[in-house]
Amino acid sequence: MITQSGQSHVQNKIILNLKLNYLPQELIKSGSDCKNSCGSVLQVTITKGDKAFVSIVSRYIYTTSYSFSVEINFGREPIGLFTVQIGIQQGIAL
């Protein structure tokens, strides 16, 4: 299960904070991807609204239990309304 724990608007970007109910410790400690902030654990897709984004980057927050930060960079202001769908990448067993 994924729940949103917060949201911020920083110039040109929307930052979503998420919490998973579980993440395998083997993935965090030894996964080659998690040596690089677990950037490919989440799949983030804008499904409606303002889809003109520059980049989407997700990062595991190591000082927490199973929390991620998702930064959606639009590269401009204003940012229009949008809907985002977030899930676990296929092939990662949680």
The domain segmentation of the chain, as residue ranges, is 2-88
Residues 6+ apart with CB under 8 A from 17: 4, 5, 6, 7, 8, 61, 67, 68, 69, 70
pLDDT in tens, 6-58: 999 999 999 999 999 887 777 766 555 565 678 888 999 999 999 999 999 99
The closest alpha carbon to 40, from 66, 58, 20, 16, belongs to 58
Looking at residue 30, the DSSP 8-state letter turns out to be H
For residue 78, say if its preceding peptide bond is cis, omega within 30 degrees of 0: yes
Q: Residue 44 has which token pair? A: 């983030």
pTM for the predicted model, two decimal places: 0.86
Task: Using pLDDT thresholds of 50, 70 and 90, give the confidence band for residue 72.
Answer: very high
